Amino acid sequence: MVHLGPKKPQARKGSMADVPKELMQQIENFEKIFTVPTETLQAVTKHFISELEKGLSKKGGNIPMIPGWVMDFPTGKESGDFLAIDLGGTNLRVVLVKLGGDRTFDTTQSKYRLPDAMRTTQNPDELWEFIADSLKAFIDEQFPQGISEPIPLGFTFSFPASQNKINEGILQRWTKGFDIPNIENHDVVPMLQKQITKRNIPIEVVALINDTTGTLVASYYTDPETKMGVIFGTGVNGAYYDVCSDIEKLQGKLSDDIPPSAPMAINCEYGSFDNEHVVLPRTKYDITIDEESPRPGQQTFEKMSSGYYLGEILRLALMDMQKQGFIFKNQDLSKFDKPFVMDTSYPARIEEDPFENLEDTDDLFQNEFGINTTVQERKLIRRLSELIGARAARLSVCGIAAICQKRGYKTGHIAADGSVYNRYPGFKEKAANALKDIYGWTQTSLDDYPIKIVPAEDGSGAGAAVIAALAQKRIAEGKSVGIIGA
């Protein structure tokens, strides 16, 4: 999770008149390498479309384009009580979602902190026992009189998992510090269901979902203009509805009760776009981040645009300036010379500094790193932060433009969530204006843009519940919820 600081009034830009020529030259160099012109955005979008198509082909490509097995659009009339659980890095969230049947919903939720040792327990049952015990505690609290009918549950499992049907999730590999044996390469749904059944809790796991797909479906439930769900946070991702007949890799794998025109939610996982380095305008700092990462050559798009990396791009550029003798002269940089010591809250706070002399930025560098800065150095730091944030916002909408162009959408709402979207200063406006540049719209107000990025509904809560409702209906009608034989 990227933690961004509290919001402040939009900062004043200040004059560059007092910045010496040598620093102005460095600022101009940064402006050249971090500015993404319209032509580049359009070229990135064009290549993005071809990569999305590759991901849907039998051969496959860099972008996984994972079918989410949500094969219906929500009507907004779905109603009833549903449970959702979201297993994240530090907490288990349990949510009771009451779907109103009129495009509204109410939620009640509790969080249960995962004991640290559980992430690496050698007992594979322990995690599922913890989740089942938490569910029981929640149910006992919410339904003291007991439950007459089983409650369907949607499980947001935020780890790489392959699915041949909606109620299955075969863990590919643990991430987020988890390393529990005998779960990788196995379906996690029966493991959880076994512990729920053992405790006589009337709950049935009917859907396992990805949070981005949940964002798409929850937002569609409340707003039928929704065309995509997107996440701009620690990572970047998008989900949308494609058509089964256009998904080459599913040909011959779908049962006869799924018509070719049926929709299919696709979890793109497009942080891996352009791993071949064909079109994205990488700087030497992006190349360093990639080469020194645990997985070089992977997640190229994410490494240039997501919240996990923006602070590190800023730090690398400042260290470069220091090594060339332009800033931080004769100072101890031992605290600053550590990879990822700056998270994305740093450039965000620097951009939000409301003072003409950038006093908050001065305090930040002194208190955190023991570095004294001049006003002129702070103006370089501020401009560099703005450029890095703007580049991320502009590049990140290429995935939106690519999917909208691929599907032929001229208008619609893009439901967005994530810490960068919600908290990074100016991100929403810069992202919207980048879409305007790609399309060449003439409208002057963000509210009038044909394709609008809007705040999303809760994907891992309401989204999981709506998907559970859709899955339960398909199962009750005897319809397929996955590939033939799954």
Q: Which tokens in the block code for residue 179?
A: 């390393």
Q: What DSSP state is assigned to residue 450? A: S
* CA distances (Å), origin 131, targets 19, 127, 210, 309, 446: 57, 6, 18, 32, 43
Which residue out of 102, 173, 199, 255 is catalytically annotated? Answer: 173
Residue in the block written with tokens 């065309």:
227
Point out the catalytic residue in the list 211, 242, 286, 417. 211
Residue 263 φ then ψ, to 5°? -75, 160
Q: How far apart are CA 40 and CA 87, in angstroms?
A: 38
Print burial letters for 253-281: b (CB count within 10 Å at least 16), e (below 16): bbeeebeeebebbbbbbbbbbbbeeebbb
Identify whether 173 is a catalytic site residue. yes
Give the type of residue at 101: G
Rounded to whole angstroms, the Cα distance separating 423 from 7 reads 7
What is the separation, in whole angstroms, between the first and last Cα of the chain? 34
Q: How many angstroms separate the Cα of 450 from the Cα of each of 401, 431, 432, 441?
A: 12, 14, 11, 8
- Element housing 52 (H / E): helix 38-56
Q: Which amino acid is at 9?
A: P
Helices (H), 306-451: 310-323, 345-352, 359-369, 375-396, 398-407, 419-423, 427-439
Is 211 tagged catalytic? yes
Catalytic residue among 158, 162, 245, 293: 158
Residue 57 annotated among the catalytic residues of the structure:
no
Active-site amino acid positions: 158, 173, 211
